[in-house]
Structure 1
């Protein structure tokens, strides 16, 4: 009795082709699974990137292994990603140190006297008050008018001819009648004449720092002056004791 094998034979090429298809399919499935496991819905980080790279190597086609050039390129990308992550951590640390330094600087200013760019000041009329007007060019005359909260002119100080620069003035706390004015908030208006036109001048006046506001977004430090409101640190000319 003879037995006939009716099963069609498979060539080695067919076996290898089927193996390649299965390997490619499992590789794709493995990488997809690793991607979902490592990243979820979050941004790709260096740990997830490395996990994907290892999964790709484990599931690569044995007949068509990872190209050396592509592998080196992926390692270079990983190194770049790790470097950027380290740089971000360093910058974050520097920003934190800057905020701490700014807070320390702020605490040292509370209660101190500063000279800031403003036209209003809280004046103790029992003693002399010093201020400065910025003169952009030589002129004659420079006048300081001091008004109270009601807008009434309390005192007019004539500084006469002034050269370009800072023109200092002193108010003894008395009104034009020679009487001591009431202590409180006063406005100082400095004017000079240029081409027959009265021009307002910038004034720097002393004030006391009550508190300091630190920006949470990296903005400028703000000084809260007693009775005057806030002024930027860049507007401060002098910090006293």
Structure 2
């Protein structure tokens, strides 16, 4: 009686049957990908290799039970990972759709976000806020136009830590109504040494459109008047 087929040789022959012969310009890895898809060794090929091992094992030295169980565990783990990936992808897709629907409902609405510039309709008052990190006795806001000219200085006086609101009535320091347009707001205070310290401001803006990320990142809200874009998570308040 001829000797049994060598296990390693049989497994190798099965694997080779799954891979097309590489040409001069094609690597074995490329051929393997062509034969098995995006995965170099899928679950079906893994199961066939396992069955081949069992069919061609040496009767005088059969497959060790522990090794057999370990291979079955690997197969089960592969199945579980693939199922988990499918579930995560489905959840991610549903979340992106929900986020897109939420963001699209903001088009045309007013929001408040952290920025130092705003497109202002000076025919009516606008409200903003300053992030005061610690209690201070002097907070001032300088409002400059697009040319860098100071239009209005608002003295807020002493403020406690937190967000402090301010209102600009659209008028300049001389009492005249300023022209509508883009203005920059610079809030400052004085430290114990009398040095000027900048503070963050939050201002209103209008959402004109939404940009969806092609890489799965957070979507962006595009603002009117060339105010740029902000992330959905950066919105502090949603108005009408």
Do both proteins adopt the same fold according to a TM-score greater than 0.5, normalized to the shorter chain? yes
Say which one has the larger Rg.
Answer: 1
Matched with 1:218 is 216
Residues 6-64 of structure 1 deviation map (CA, whole Å, 9 limit, x = unaligned)? xxxxxxxxx4xxx22xx224x54432232123465132111110111122223333444
TM-score (norm 1): 0.84
Matched with 2:68 is 71
**Root mean square deviation, CA, Å:** 1.9
What is the alpha-carbon distance in structure 1 between the residues aligned to residue 182 and residue 88 of structure 2?
45
TM-score (norm 2): 0.84
Determine which of 28, 32, 35 is the counterpart of 2:12.
32
What is the alpha-carbon distance in structure 2 between the residues aligned to residue 67 and residue 160 of structure 1?
82
Matched with 1:110 is 107
What is the alpha-carbon distance in structure 1 between the residues aligned to residue 17 and residue 83 of structure 2?
24
Indicate conservation of the 8 Å contact 1:113/1:240, yes or no: yes
Matched with 2:121 is 124
Change (3 A) 1:65 1:203: same
Q: What SS does structure 2 have at the residue aligned with 1:160?
A: strand
Residues 140-169 of structure 1 deviation map (CA, whole Å, 9 limit, x = unaligned)? 221111110000111111112222222211
Q: What SS does structure 1 have at the residue aligned with 2:105?
A: helix
Matched with 1:160 is 157
How many residues are paired up?
221
Structure 1 consecutive aligned stretches of length 4 or more whose deviation exceeds 6 Å? none
What is the alpha-carbon distance in structure 1 between the residues aligned to residue 112 and residue 54 of structure 2?
68
- Residue ranges of structure 2 left out of the alignment (5+ in a row): 20-30, 34-39
Q: What SS does structure 2 have at the residue aligned with 1:127?
A: coil
What is the alpha-carbon distance in structure 1 between the residues aligned to residue 233 and residue 96 of structure 2?
17
1:11-22 → structure 2 map (5 Å cutoff): 15=1, 19-20=2-3
Matched with 1:41 is 32
Matched with 1:142 is 139
Matched with 1:183 is 180
What is the alpha-carbon distance in structure 2 between the residues aligned to residue 86 and residue 235 of structure 1?
34
- Residue ranges of structure 1 left out of the alignment (5+ in a row): 1-14
What is the alpha-carbon distance in structure 1 between the residues aligned to residue 61 and residue 123 of structure 2?
94
Matched with 1:234 is 233
How far did 1:215 drift? Answer: 2.5
